[in-house]
Chain A
């Protein structure tokens, strides 16, 4: 990996009063978020809390009902192609085209991003993610975990500054999940990338993320900066208990 860049203060991702939803009905509303290079933002929330809707909204897959999104200073509404050029999204494993082999899929994404099909921000990523054996096979014959690894490889192609992993650690075996978390931390530490990590695995957040937000009923119910994350995670299971308490407060359902 290249030498780290000095910390940047300019927001890489900026959401201002974002509301988004389906058929004109908001699922998330009034979301304000900023992410800078070097930061890893954890997105937490129960099923239906709006995490995936929010990810779709700021990756330009869902129209905004209100507010604005800018990536690396480029307004998504004004110049979506330029804004999306700064974005690497690990799509859901079900969205990886099953008719292609892993290699063909990577070549397709590389051709769109106009980069080499092995232009990753770290060396030998297929080996790191233990996917070399499967990469020449049709995606249709790959397991959920292997498809997710191929999707992660595609997201990292061309080393876009904003990396978005929506439930991407699900289905990975423990060794690759561990390597993936270290890779995410290394990419952020390089100062070239900002990372959004949406997950249900609560214990991942304090070990990987530098900030976290908890979504409930479509809005930010609680947020943690690096110090608050460290304090909440000081005792084993402490952060999980903290999140469960927030969840109970918002939904009224005892954990």
Chain B
């Protein structure tokens, strides 16, 4: 599982070093993001080639993919030593957001954004100061 990749964020090798959290997180995110982009390109490129005028759809898809990868990486970093829990929490948060958005419209996405920001800062604090 790609969430297991974020395990080093709990290692003293990184935490007792001068490496900033953002740099470590981005470095660990690079491979999962590259794999996602590769799989995305496999379908997006033929679709674009077939219909070049409809370029907005693959671009929007790519941006959405980057966003999802970012959110996934935040969950993975927060639950760095429990990759299965990270994946479950990520799927549960997305499912709940999608379900609630049916009733409360897109404002629910603000809640998801707030949760992601909260997890990011908690993880960053724990990485920097224990």
Q: Nearest CB to that of B20 among chain A residues?
A: A81
Chain A: how many interface residues by the 8 Å CB criterion?
A: 27
Task: Pick the residue among B16, B19, B128, B130 that contacts A91 (CB under 8 A).
Answer: B16
A122 at the B interface (CB under 8 A): no
Write the A86-108 contact mask toward B (1 if CB under 8 angstroms, else 0): 01010110011100000000001
Contact B128 A60 (CB under 8 A): yes
Q: Nearest CB to that of B129 among chain A residues?
A: A63
A57 at the B interface (CB under 8 A): yes
Contact B8 A113 (CB under 8 A): no
Contact A61 B18 (CB under 8 A): no
Contact B18 A91 (CB under 8 A): no
For A82, what are the chain B residues with a Cβ–Cβ distance below 8 Å? Answer: 18
Contact B15 A60 (CB under 8 A): yes
For A64, what are the chain B residues with a Cβ–Cβ distance below 8 Å? Answer: 129
Interface Cβ pair total, 8 Å cutoff:
56
Task: Pick the residue among A57, A85, A92, A97 that contacts B18 (CB under 8 A).
Answer: A85
By secondary structure, the A interface counts as mixed
Write the A66-96 contact mask toward B (1 if CB under 8 angstroms, else 0): 0000000000110011101101010110011
Contact A63 B13 (CB under 8 A): no
Contact B129 A89 (CB under 8 A): no
Q: Nearest CB to that of B24 among chain A residues?
A: A112
A185 at the B interface (CB under 8 A): no
For B8, what are the chain A residues with a Cβ–Cβ distance below 8 Å? Answer: 97
Q: How far is the CB of A197 from chain B (nearest CB, A)?
A: 16
User: Are A84 and B17 also in contact (CB < 8 A) when A89-B12, A91-B12 are?
Assistant: yes
Contact B129 A113 (CB under 8 A): no
For B105, what are the chain A residues with a Cβ–Cβ distance below 8 Å? Answer: none
B positions within 8 Å CB-CB of A: 8, 11-20, 128-130
Known contacts A81-B20, A95-B13; can you find 16 more A-B pairs with CB under 8 A? A59-B12, A60-B16, A60-B128, A60-B129, A61-B12, A61-B15, A63-B130, A64-B129, A77-B129, A80-B128, A81-B19, A84-B17, A89-B16, A112-B17, A112-B18, A154-B13
- Cβ contacts A to B, 26 pairs, < 8 Å: A56-B130, A59-B12, A60-B15, A60-B128, A60-B129, A61-B15, A61-B16, A61-B130, A76-B129, A81-B18, A82-B18, A84-B16, A84-B17, A84-B18, A85-B18, A87-B16, A89-B16, A91-B12, A91-B13, A96-B13, A108-B13, A109-B17, A112-B17, A112-B18, A113-B17, A113-B18
